Amino acid sequence: MTQLWLDLGNTRLKYWLTDDITQVVAHDAKQHLQAPAELLMGLTDRFQQLAPAFIGISSVLGEQINTQIAESLSHLSIPFKFVHVDANHSLLKSDYEPSQLGVDRWLQLLGAVDSKKRQCVIGCGTAVTIDLVDHAHHLGGYIFPNIYLQREALFSGTKQISISNGTFDSIAQGTTTADAVHRGILLSIVGAVNEISRRHPNFELIMTGGDASILAQHIDHPLHIREDLLLNGLIRFFN
């Protein structure tokens, strides 16, 4: 029996098809260009061919778009359900206000949680999230704009800095404005992670998301990069 897992993020739609032992047998990711419902309509034939027994959905896109998505999926005659944040889930308790906790962030925590460990889970997506989990008890965390949003805010908020290129490849001091901007932004997040790790030395560091490889190389503490956290969280929530 196969199951289909949908992740509707701020910029991308991702899906995985898993078999009866939860091995991934098909997957894809597409930019939705702020039109996820339209993109999903174009994928319904593909989902029909995959013929899953169930579709589990994580969406951060809001009630209006989720209603459109539900309408598209209803034509497939395949059972589907959206994830909701459960602060009292059997695998993970949280001190966070449930209505304020993004479902993608919560699923990353659910995908990582190990009741035998203290963990610091860092999500490197459109926002950078840092969350502390103590033996399956979510203590709370921090949210930052990611490196690209920080750069965009700096460029739009200043008249003297106008840079169209540059790379986030170092945290050494820059000797040009482009280098100083990119390295300063990178250092702001790297420094935050290192400081949190210093304050919580017994917490295992876990990093996930598209920018994880950029940030990880500058972190002073051992860490694990896990690209499967959201998928693992989806499977744990429904199964």
Whether residues 149 and 196 share a domain: the answer is: yes
Instruction: For residues 222 and 200, give the distance between their C-alpha atoms in angstroms, rounded to a whole number.
Output: 13
Among 82, 113, 137, give the residue marking a domain's end.
Answer: 82
On whether the CB atoms of residues 102 and 60 are closer than 8 A, the answer is: yes
Domain annotation covers residue 53: yes
Of 19, 86, 104, 179, the catalytic one is 104
* pTM attached to this predicted model: 0.91
Domain annotation covers residue 150: yes
Instruction: For residues 1 and 4, give the distance between their C-alpha atoms in angstroms, rounded to a whole number.
Output: 10
Predicted pLDDT of residue 63:
92
- Name the least confident of 82-86, 87-91, 126-130, 164-168: 164-168
Q: What is the mean pLDDT of the chain?
A: 93
Predicted pLDDT of residue 34:
75
Predicted pLDDT of residue 162:
65
Beta bridge partner(s), residue 82: 57
3-state secondary structure of 228: coil
- Report the CATH number that the domain containing residue 213 is assigned in CATH: 3.30.420.40
Domain housing 33: 3-82
Beta bridge partner(s), residue 33: none
Among 82, 106, 136, give the residue marking a domain's end.
Answer: 82
Q: CA 68, 70, 76, 82 torsion: positive or negative?
A: positive
Decide if 179 is catalytic.
Answer: no
Beta bridge partner(s), residue 12: 31
Q: How many domains does the chain have?
A: 2
